[in-house]
Every structure is written in C-alpha cells, then in structure tokens.
Amino acid sequence: MVGSHPPVTSSALPADGPHGAGRTTVPLPRRPLDPAAGPGDQVRRWYENELGWATVPATRENPGENTGFPVRLRVGERFDVLDVPAEAGRAGLRHLVAGSPVALQGGRMRLLVAAGSAEELPGLLEWLEWRVPALDLTALGEGALMDAPLPPGRPDAAQGAAVWLRPPEPGCEVEASLPTMSAVGGVVGAPDLVRLVYTVATQCHRLRLRRGCAQPPAFPPASDQALAFS
C-alpha cells in the first residue's frame, strides 16, 4: 500500500473550510406530540425531534426491507452508510468511537460514516489496492434511503427489521463521531475512514475466499470421472 494519502475531493472537506460553505446542518422542526399516533409515527418523531434526522414513510411501491415500522432515513444529509456483511463489520468496530452509530439488519452491518464518504469510496478502495470486483462492500450516499432501526428500549422489533447495535445519542451532533477522511482536517477526534475501509475490505475479501473454498468443485475428481464413464 502506498504511504501517501489518497486524492481528496471536495466532498471530504470540512464544513467550516473555504470550500465547505453552505454545508451547515439545520435541525428539522420538531413535530408536535400526538398521543394517538401509531408506532411508526412515534419512531419517526424520535428521529426527527431527538436526532434531527430526516425521515420518509415507506410506501407500497418502495417499502424497503423493514417488516416492523415503515420509516426510512434519508442518507447523505447528516451521514452516509457503509453496508458490509456483519462479520466483516465487526472487525471494523475497533476503529470507531463510543458514539459511532452502527445498525444491523438481515446479516448486514450498516456503519454510519461522514456525509460525502460514499463518493470517496471507489477512489479510496483503488488507492488501498482493493480492485476485486466482487468485494461485498457498498456505500449509500446522497439520495439513498435506509430502513430506520427501532429506537433504543423498543423490544417490539419484527423479525428481519433493522436494529441498532450502537444507537445514536439524542442531543449529540452525530457528525463528531463519524469516520471521516482525517487527512483533510476533519472533526478532531473523529474515527479514521481510511483505516475502517481497509479493515472491512480485508475481511470482505477473506469471507469471499472462505466461501469459494467451501464451494464443491465444478468437476468431480479424476477417479470419480473414471467411474462415471466406466
């Protein structure tokens, strides 16, 4: 791996830098409380009122995978998402700080990373010399949606619904805990996106090799072939 830092695009620049003007986050207006609101509305209010995260209701045309509460989160405004197999994601947890949100759903781990990271991922993987096309690692960025995990303390999650492994903390700016490109003067103390991506990419590659070794051979051994044609 090369010893210098990868090329940086404007999406990785800090919000208070000369090129980051206009990226200041404005909290969403608080939704009024409604005692008669359903569970989905209560979950949506928790995200918007307590965290300031934008949500959208799931529709029949776009229900997502959430079999519990039909609420989805807008990605790309406050955070992007690194989507990896849960086993690979566990290896990357050591690079996160205590407040870094992490979700689980259906054998996948979703690591919240700094907004703009999805645009950086292809170039970052190439710089890290990970050019394996079948690498099971994707990033969700601006315009994407993710199923909203249930808020902490809600035990009524349906099977297959998204849940928090490490929930976000109400009242705290999530940006301070998200992995970012530390080389360009990101938030002080924030996790390093480069180390996180390198670790999970390595684990994804190992999982791919393991699955390949577990596959039966395309052709039977020579002795079996002789028996088959005898």
Q: Which tens digits make up the pLDDT trace of 135-161?
A: 899 999 999 999 999 888 766 667 778
Q: At what angle do helices 117-127 and 193-214 cross, to 10 degrees?
A: 70
β-sheet with 163-166: strand ranges across = 138-140, 80-85, 108-113, 102-105, 163-166
**Contact by Cβ (8 Å): 60, 134:** no
Rg for the chain (alpha carbons), in Å?
Answer: 21
Higher pLDDT, 228 or 122: 122
**Is the pLDDT assigned to residue 202 strictly greater than 80?**
yes
Asked which of 72-76, 87-91, 127-131, 225-229 is least confident by mean pLDDT, the reply is: 225-229
* Residue labelled with tokens 């902490």: 152
Q: Count how many Cα atoms sit within 13 Å of the Cα of residue 75 in the half-sphere of its side chain.
A: 24
What's the pLDDT band for 98 if we cut at 50, 70, 90?
confident
Tens digit of each residue's pLDDT (9 = 90 or more) over 43-85 = 899 999 999 999 998 765 554 444 455 799 999 999 999 999 9
Residue (of 125, 116, 110, 114) closest to 190 by Cα position:
114
- Non-local (6+) Cβ contacts of 133 within 8 A are none
Higher pLDDT, 156 or 190: 190
